[in-house]
Structures are given as C-alpha cells and as structure tokens.
Structure 1
Amino acid sequence: MTSATRPPRIPARPLRPRLIATDLDGTLLRDDHSVSPRTVAALAAAEAAGIEIFFVTGRPARWMGVVSEHVHGHGLAICGNGAAVVDLHGGPGAHRFVKIRDLVPATALEVVEILRAAAPGTAFAVERTGGLHREPGYPPLHLEPPQSIAPAEALLAAGSPGADQPVLKVLAHHAELAPDEFLRSARAEVGARATLTRSSPSALLEISGPGVSKASTLALCCAERGIDPAEVMAFGDMPNDVEMLGWAGTSYAMGNAHPEVLAAASGRTGANNEDGVAAVIEEVLRSR
C-alpha cells in the first residue's frame, strides 16, 4: 500500500478545525506547481463546511496566481513567510496588501554585513512589495527578472530603486555551503536581530524582521477572527513551516517533509504529489 492510498496518521484528539493553514510548494502544490482536481475539491468542501482555508507561503504575492481562484470567501493569504497578508481577490496582478510586517533596511544592512563576514561568497537579493532586486552574483533562481541589480548595500540605501516600498525579506545564497549548515551558522551569527529560515533545496536563506514568521502572522490573523490555536490545522514540508506546525493545535508533515518538520508535526500524511493535504481534509470531513 502506498502513501497515496494509506490513510493519513491523524492525531488522537477531536478534529474540529475552524481554520486550515497550508503551505504551498512541496505541500499543497504538486511538483509541477499545479493544484490537483482532488485538492481543489477538498478545499471547496472544507470551505462549504465552514472551515476557512489560509495559504501560508514563502512566495511573494505576485506568485500567487496558481491558487488565487481557490481562496474562496475571505480571499486572504499569508505571503513572504509572514511578512505580508494579501487579499487575492481580483486574481494575479490585482492583489492588495492588507498587513505588512517589514524588515527595517538598517537591520537588513546589519545582517548583510554579518553574513558577508561569517560566510564569504554569500550573494544577496532584496524582496520589496513591488518586486525583487538582486546583487550581480545572486543566481537567477526566481520566476521573473529583477527590478534592479546592484550590491545589497546599494539596494537597501535610501535612494535605491524601490526605496519607497517596504522590504519584506532579504535572500542570502551560498553556492558551496550545505543548506542546513548555512542556516545553523547564520542563525548563530545573526541572533535575534532577524528571523532566518529556509524553504529551498539549495543553500538559500530567507531573512525577515525579528519575530516575523508564518506562525506569528497566522496567530495575528486567527486572533482577529477569535480562532484559538487548538482550532487550527496546519500542513508543511520545510523548515520555514516548523514554527507554524508547532503553534497549530493539529499539524501534519508531508510524506516528503524535511526531518525537522517530521519532528515538529503531530501527524503525518502523504507526499505533495500524492495529494496528502486533500487526504487529511477528506478524512476530517468524513469524521464530522
């Protein structure tokens, strides 16, 4: 029996979620970045049963077109690892920032300086609300060309292109370090100045403001709705999901999840290519 047909491991507690929070890449989306018909049906059934669906992702808002038609009534998603809450009504290009938890440029510059010294060869990019700006040595990892190319110090300066737009996160890439090693060492050097995590298979760190994470922004959104953590079910696969999975009352690691995610979650389900999120939602709705 494969994980696609085996029932998910559901924690031994009553499952009556009011809100489902799910990561996208490696979790809800298949490896080809599609949402399967089974998953579309499961999301719609959950919403029809009165369960809110929140997409909680490291993606910027402009990359949310793949799921914007599945946000149903509220239309909200948490993007940039918690740096922004976005209303996706209107589809791609028509999103509206509802909440921004930015990274102060002076703090970003301090972190860049620390990582340049601690890990020579690190290349940086700056994600603002209007687009990506990168250094000449930063690899073309993303879906669109950069808004501008310059050293990080210039990208974060007061007169830089896009300086009137908040900084959502800084990206730091190293061509030689192992991803988990890079994250561990960078966290030790940066400390509480900023939040560091990763979601890429490469040594690519995502740097947000202090205290900003998927978990903390999801907690704010739930508090506004009067939803307790015990009423939240969360899904994820990479280190940037760990805090959210620990915060939610019930959480699931995907079959393809990073070891830290497997340790943090209270349950497990199938891999993203096997519709693991849909399998749990179907089971929950049957139990209701």
Structure 2
Amino acid sequence: MTSATSPRPQPTAHRTPRLIATDLDGTLLRDDKTVSERTIAALAAAEEAGIEVFFVTGRPARWMGIVSEHVHGHGLAICANGAAVVDLHAGGQLLESRPLEREVALDVVRLLRREAPGTTFAVDMTTGVHYEPDYPPFYLDVGASVAAAEKLLHEDEPGSGDPVLKLLALHRELSPDDFLALARTAAGDRATITRSSPTALLEVSGLGVSKASTLALCCAERGISADEVVAFGDMPNDIEMLSWAGRSYAMGNAHPDVIAAASGRTVANNEDGVALVIEDILRNSR
C-alpha cells in the first residue's frame, strides 16, 4: 500500500509508449534485490500490450540472473551503464560493446591518484572484474585478478587484452557527490564519469557512453523516438536517460539531482513505484 507521504505518479495523459526503460537497483528491484509479484505482473502486462521493456543498468551481464526471466520477448538488456548490450535469453551473451580504451582508463587512474590520494580501483572487463588489493573483493565474481590498476590495464600488445567496460574508483573518505565533482573536473574531458552507489564509488566509461546514448541507439534501430519512451531511475547514472526520454519518473527514494531531471515522480522502489506507473499507463491506454 502506498504511504500517505509518498509522491504519487503524475497522470499519464499521453499516448501509450512503445518502450519502457527501467533501472534495476533502487528502482525496479526492492532493497532485498527481489522483483515483487506486482512488478512481475506489470512487466508481463506491458509486454502483452505491445510495449517493449528494456532493463538499463550499471550491473554487468553476469549479475542479471535476478531479472533475466522477466525480460520477455526481445531478451535484450543494456548493462554496465551503456557499455554493453546483452541477450538475456542467451545467458547474457554480449551482442554489442562500447569499451573504455585502456590508455584512457590509465589516464583517469593517474589523474585520480594525483587529485584524490587514497583512491582504489577495479577494472570491469567483458570477461569479468579485477581489482586492486585495497578494493573490496567481489564475492560474486570468482577468478578475479588482484593487482595494481596499472598492471590490470597493461597489454603486451595493443588490442590483445579483453575489452574494458568500466573502470571503478572508490574513495573511503570523500563524500559521494564531492568525489564525483572532483573526478569530473579532473578527468571529465577524457571519459564519462558517474555513480550509482550510496558510497563514494565512481563508474568510468568511454567518453559519450551512457545509459541514454546506448538506449537511444537501441531505440533508433527499432524506429522508436524519445517521446515514445518512458524511463525510470534513482541515481546520477540515470540522469541522462531520464532527461532524454519523453516521459521519465524519479523514484521516491531518488537522489535530488535525479528528481530535478525527471519529468515526474513515483513512489519508492520498495513500494513498487515502477509497477504503479505501468499500471496507470495501461489503464489510461484502454
């Protein structure tokens, strides 16, 4: 049940969208990382109504098992903040990638080591994640290499290593927003830098790579325009997507900058805010 103090979604006095794009953590998923029965039913109803649903997340493909059975017809998801398009029907098979060049990643590492001493790094590749000794270990990822970022990013010959999807940068003392602002000042002309974590953990992608830019490419392939898209999100890595979509909703638990960027607002993820809007869209499309 929606609490009395929770924001209600704005009325959907628009034509029925052709595509729904939703973030996962803090948005579609509840805090315990489950998909509620109400949300499962809403996603299925959208599919039945002919509305495509795209999961658009910072998660790597290997962490998509929680939602893979709910992607329905097309099977596609946008992962790693737009760096990868994967087929969840084929076990997360990588279909397209927009990698971060290793030399650029090394530049970002050098700049952040200089401007924010104490930063520690992880490198997320198409084949898995690897991290520095002081970086918190990824218990979901076995077989990770542990070494300095410079060694992790080294190639014996250019192009011989696995594609890099994201560089992760963690600082244990700076506030999340301060670290993001510092990193963008230091290296924002070299790469796309954002964050989705409540901690000071930054995600670094290739310049111009974002949820929004990859979603726009996927929509263009389908002949879908921005004004035919409804998007949902809660953190700074969703801002470009919410600004691009014709209709967008910040979750009740969203970051203030996300609320400012979205055209509407729904209730929190734990109150099934995405499902609530989908139900409203379908009700008003009849």
Shorter-chain TM range is over 0.9
Indicate how the Cα distance of structure 1 residues 282 and 11 shifts in structure 2: closer, same or farther if over 3 A, else same. closer
**What is the one-letter code of the residue matched to 1:102?**
P
Q: TM-score, normalised by structure 2?
A: 0.95
Q: Which residue of 1 aligns with 2:88?
A: 88
* Kept after mapping to 1: 8 A contact 2:13/2:284: no
* Kept after mapping to 1: 8 A contact 2:131/2:137: no
Q: Which residue of 1 aligns with 2:56?
A: 56
Q: Which residue of 2 aligns with 1:228?
A: 225
Runs (5+) with no aligned partner, structure 2: none
**What is the one-letter code of the residue matched to 2:222?**
R
* Kept after mapping to 2: 8 A contact 1:11/1:250: no
Q: Which residue of 2 aligns with 1:193?
A: 190
Q: TM-score, normalised by structure 1?
A: 0.94
Q: Which residue of 1 aligns with 2:16?
A: 16
- Give 1:9 shift: 2.5
* 2:237 match: secondary structure: helix
Q: Which residue of 2 aligns with 1:208?
A: 205
* 1:200 match: secondary structure: coil
* 1:89 match: secondary structure: helix
Q: Which residue of 1 aligns with 2:134?
A: 137
* Kept after mapping to 2: 8 A contact 1:30/1:36: yes
* Kept after mapping to 2: 8 A contact 1:85/1:97: yes
* 1:252 match: secondary structure: strand
- Give 1:5 shift: 9.7
* Kept after mapping to 1: 8 A contact 2:252/2:265: yes
Q: How many pairs were matched up?
A: 284
**What is the one-letter code of the residue matched to 1:219?**
A
* 1:133 match: secondary structure: strand
Indicate how the Cα distance of structure 1 residues 260 and 142 shifts in structure 2: closer, same or farther if over 3 A, else same. farther
Indicate how the Cα distance of structure 1 residues 163 and 26 shifts in structure 2: closer, same or farther if over 3 A, else same. farther
Q: Which residue of 2 aligns with 1:27?
A: 27
**What is the one-letter code of the residue matched to 1:282?**
E
- Give 1:16 shift: 1.6
* Kept after mapping to 2: 8 A contact 1:157/1:163: no
**What is the one-letter code of the residue matched to 2:89?**
H
* Kept after mapping to 1: 8 A contact 2:7/2:265: no
Candidates 226, 240, 243, aligned match of 1:243: 240
Q: Which residue of 2 aligns with 1:43?
A: 43
d(CA) in 1 for partners of 2:101, 2:47 = 36
d(CA) in 1 for partners of 2:275, 2:156 = 47
- Give 1:12 shift: 6.5
Indicate how the Cα distance of structure 1 residues 279 and 108 shifts in structure 2: closer, same or farther if over 3 A, else same. same
